[in-house]
Structure 1
Amino acid sequence: MEEVVLVDHMDNEIGVAEKLSAHLDGSLHRAFSIFLFNSQGEMLIQRRASDKYHSSDLWSNTCCSHPRPNENLQAAAERRLYEELGMKTDLTWLLSFKYKISFDNGLIEHELDHVFVGTTDQEASLNPKEVSEVKYISPEDLKLDLAQNPDHYTFWFKELVDKVIENYPKQ
């Protein structure tokens, strides 16, 4: 059973819940999102696997998930990046934000999301249970595609991408 860390609006831990239960009742919980860039400044995005319980087959940031109870947030981000994409790189915390969205299948994402960024030119090794494909894309091409095809991307990615691009330290 996978558990998530429940938090208040200031990110103080207030308990744990089974992951699906938290997504059914919309409990605010801790999450993280990773945005990787290559040395040319292109962002690595992933298409979520088709059997994900929400937002399947949509393009999103490099990786995202939840820390386990009693797991350091940085360590959780590094662990999940390796589990999903077989990648290891230095990650830097960039910002946090809160969001809540309801999906057609009755699930609710209500997350306090910590955003990490990093730079790498590594090739990804995809975990097919999580990711169906990846690609590097320039910020300019990404913004154009987001404008033309917003329904091809996850909600949280659309909410975050401009903030990340604006605040990511240029190499």
Structure 2
Amino acid sequence: MNRHIIIPAVADDGSLFPVEKMAAHVQGLLHLAVSVFVFDGDLLLIQKRAAVKYHCGGQWANTCCSHPHWDETVESCAERRLQEELGFSIPLTRHQTVEYEASVGEGLSEHERVTLFSAQVDRRQLDIRPNPEEVDAVRWVDPESLHREVQKSPDDFTPWFRIYLERFPAFKFSTND
């Protein structure tokens, strides 16, 4: 697992500059990210992050999330990470960009400008092959069940996923939000 990845951070003037990924998390620097949500109707594919992940291991998150490499587009990053984490490629729809800050434990924090992506699939035709270095488990969940689980056991879910669920309780994204 390469932790010395260079990602785009956001300067005060809005310009991007390269930063090592761990430095961004240690220093709480605003940086670019992507989050992917794959649906079958109202069901959302979620993943349990591998226990070996450097933060939030063993917690449930949205389908896929990551940071673009320096000079990589957010679209390319979303497509790449779906393949690397879950072993499949599908067409994605780009939605709005949101920002959040959250502590993720171990003295690390996420301060992200996240571009959201989604896709609709027929799960019976989706060949999911999780990478064990990235993902311990996957499952499909409906909004009502997911919200009940998060209410009952919030620490089972990543901080950013809980933030997304608060902002988008029905899992609906629009380019106008």
- The answer to whether the superposition gives a TM-score over 0.5 is yes
Q: Is the 8 A contact 1:91 1:117 kept in 2?
A: yes
Q: CA deviation at 1:41?
A: 2.1
- Structure 2 alignment gaps of length 5 or more: none
Q: Which residue of structure 2 lines up, in the alignment, with residue 142 of structure 1?
A: 146
Q: Which residue of structure 1 lines up, in the alignment, with residue 16 of structure 2?
A: 14
For the residues of structure 1 that align with 2:104 and 2:43, how far apart are their CA atoms?
A: 30
Three-state SS of the structure 2 residue aligned to 1:151 is helix
- TM-score by length of structure 2 reads 0.87
Q: Which residue of structure 2 lines up, in the alignment, with residue 28 of structure 1?
A: 30
1:131 is aligned, of 106, 130, 135, to: 135
Structure 1 stretch displaced more, 61-70 or 86-95:
86-95
- TM-score by length of structure 1 reads 0.90
Three-state SS of the structure 1 residue aligned to 2:52 is coil
Structure 1 stretch displaced more, 59-68 or 118-127:
118-127
Q: CA deviation at 1:22?
A: 1.1
Query: Which contiguous aligned blocks of 4+ residues in structure 1 show a shift greater than 4 angstroms?
Result: none
Q: CA deviation at 1:166?
A: 4.6
CA distances 1:23-75 after superposition (whole Å, capped 9, x unpaired)? 1111110001001101x421000000001111110000000001111111111
For the residues of structure 2 that align with 1:140 and 1:116, how far apart are their CA atoms?
A: 21
Q: Is the 8 A contact 2:143 2:171 kept in 1?
A: no
Q: CA deviation at 1:103?
A: 3.6
Between the two proteins, the alignment pairs up a number of residues equal to: 167
For the residues of structure 2 that align with 1:104 and 1:59, how far apart are their CA atoms?
A: 15
* Residues 80-159 of structure 1: pairs in structure 2 closer than 5 A: 80-120=81-121, 121=123, 122-159=126-163
Instruction: Give the % identical residues.
Output: 37
Q: Which residue of structure 1 lines up, in the alignment, with residue 7 of structure 2?
A: 4
